[in-house]
Chain A
Amino acid sequence: EIVMTQSPATLSVSLGERATLSCRASQSVSSNLAWYQQKPGQAPRLLIYDASTRATGVPARFSGSGSGTEFTLTISSLQSEDFAVYYCQQYNNWPPLTFGGGTKVEIK
């Protein structure tokens, strides 16, 4: 099983600032990595797939990078609606499909 590790667990950011979230895989997942955003009481929403491709309707301030075992989600300028929990997920080698533990982005 591929273990996904996200850091930090909590990220405190001010409005308008840049946020950088990390995700590490226990073995290479090539570029088969997705990022999801989850707000309280809602289902996760796909933001990024194939490590760097934005899903339909996702604002350009969200960008993904990386390949192999190291990945980054960057939010260039935090908006109020971006405060949420973000999960990475690998789909290179399954079953099982595995998620990271999440990074909570909160207001500083």
Chain B
Amino acid sequence: GESVGLHLPTLSVQEGDNSIINCAYSNSASDYFIWYKQESGKGPQFIIDIRSNMDKRQGQRVTVLLNKTVKHLSLQIAATQPGDSAVYFCADSSGGYQKVTFGTGTKLQVIP
């Protein structure tokens, strides 16, 4: 069936470096994409979203890039901090439908 998945289960980065977390999706009808951050012991929290009519969207220290041609999504975190250590999930929905499908997650470890 259709799925949203991640390339790497764990990513280790040095504090202050930039982080890039990747996500591949397979549903060509997906038109809304979201990144969530989950800290230990908590529920996921919204970071940033992007619609399929955009290629790039920027937030505070985060940028999401969407490549519809290869069905690829990435989250870039600038100047990674210890507080960025968490599991990151990409998620998608399609056609205005309310169902949201999540990927398997990437664990980001920030090395001080």
- Report if A and B associate in a common complex: no
Binding site for B on A (CB under 8 A): none
